[in-house]
């Protein structure tokens, strides 16, 4: 006897088509290409969750570099001075301080320069 799976098959297809919405042409209309599209999109999503972390770290470092250069030092000397001074702020918080509270960042830079000089 032939089994067509009825509503279960329709529910499974509907879930796939819902995930593939917004793609061009057959990538959102044809079941076989929808499956391929979803596999690829999930692979990209997995990969790019990790890439996002790298990109944010690079952005924070760029911001810190700009703030340090405005205060007469460079990024590598600043980070070296922080480690010698025992200041354990991460790059995200340093970047936020440089943008939102420049006077606090000035004090941190002075502390790092003093640790380098000592």
From first to last of its 118 residues, the chain has per-residue pLDDT tens of 788 888 999 999 999 999 999 999 999 999 999 999 999 999 999 999 999 999 999 999 999 999 999 999 999 999 999 999 999 999 999 999 999 999 999 999 999 999 999 8
- Per the structure block, which two tokens stand in for 96? 């936020």
- The pLDDT of residue 25 is 96
**Contacts for 52 with CB less than 8 Å, ≥ 6 apart:** none
CB 46 within 8 A of CB 56: no
Residues 6+ positions from 13 with CB-CB distance below 8 Å: 31
- By CB neighbour count within 10 A (0-12 exposed, 13-18 middle, 19+ buried), where does 23 fall? middle
Q: Are 68 and 74 in contact (CB under 8 A)?
A: yes
**Residue range 104-114, pLDDT digits in tens:** 999 999 999 99
């Amino acid at each position: 006897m032939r089994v067509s799976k009825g509503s279960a098959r329709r529910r499974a297809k509907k879930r796939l088509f819902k995930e593939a919405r917004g793609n061009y042409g057959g990538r959102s209309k044809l079941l076989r290409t929808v499956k391929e599209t979803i596999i690829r999109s999930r692979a990209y999503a997995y990969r790019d969750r990790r890439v996002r972390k790298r990109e944010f770290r690079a952005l924070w470092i760029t911001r810190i570099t700009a703030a340090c250069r405005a205060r007469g030092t460079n990024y590598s000397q600043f980070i070296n001075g922080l480690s010698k001074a025992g200041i354990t702020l991460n790059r995200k918080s340093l970047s936020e301080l440089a943008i939102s509270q420049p006077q606090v960042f000035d004090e941190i830079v002075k502390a790092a320069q003093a640790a380098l000089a000592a």
